Structure 1
């Protein structure tokens, strides 16, 4: 497994466990809403994940970008589809998104090394 992918997964899992172990009802509900939002509905999970990826890039949240890239990878999206999502994010977010696109592509390539 690529070290970048391994490090992100382990850290995310460890910290999510710690956060959820504090038994805060609001945080648990937010996590639940997040999970349920990306389920199949009028929009497919693929469409929702691409929207989440673009929004995360525009908001410049690298952890969120990695999360959505992992899901996109796991549900079978390809590099051309990801690059089109990147192009939408750069159009909407402007050139400030370019550094996040670099890191996103680096992480996407790391996922593909698995």
Structure 2
């Protein structure tokens, strides 16, 4: 069954709002970190959101997915641009698995008794 992303987004905002009431400095710190990249001006907002989506799927963060999909749409990202950004993240994740597979082979060689 597909997730009700709109309801999830609303619940997430409410829950984060509750955290903000209980720990406002945590939310202020997060907001500062989140907004820091915007201040350099080297990447436009749409590019930052496309990167955020690649990271979101890599981290398997549903809250990040709904937040940054919404933001990417608002920044004018097309479905095709989002798909291309996701393709990059998929390839990098596959590449990381391949690199770590080499580590398994190294561990095997070190741990297997000779003979």
TM-score by length of 1: 0.69
Matches within 5 A, 1:22-61: 22-38=22-38, 41-61=41-61
- SS across alignment from 1:94: helix
Report the count of equivalent residues. Answer: 93
Query: Could you tell me how far 1:6 is from its partner in structure 2?
Result: 2.4
Q: Distance in 2 between matches of 1:12 and 1:40?
A: 29
Q: Do 2:20 and 2:26's aligned partners in 1 also have CA atoms closer than 8 Å?
A: no
Q: Do 1:39 and 1:45's aligned partners in 2 also have CA atoms closer than 8 Å?
A: no
4+ residue runs of structure 1 moved beyond 3 angstroms? 35-40
**Higher RCO (Cα < 8 Å, 6 or more apart):** 1
Q: Distance in 1 between matches of 2:48 and 2:10?
A: 25
Equivalent residue, structure 2, for 1:106: none
Q: Distance in 2 between matches of 1:63 and 1:23?
A: 19
TM-score by length of 2: 0.69
Q: CA RMSD in A?
A: 2.2
Point out the structure with max Rg over C-alpha: 2
In structure 1, stretches of 5+ residues that fail to align are 96-114
Q: Do 2:9 and 2:63's aligned partners in 1 also have CA atoms closer than 8 Å?
A: no
Matches within 5 A, 1:6-25: 6-25=6-25
Q: Distance in 2 between matches of 1:39 and 1:84?
A: 26
In structure 2, stretches of 5+ residues that fail to align are 96-115
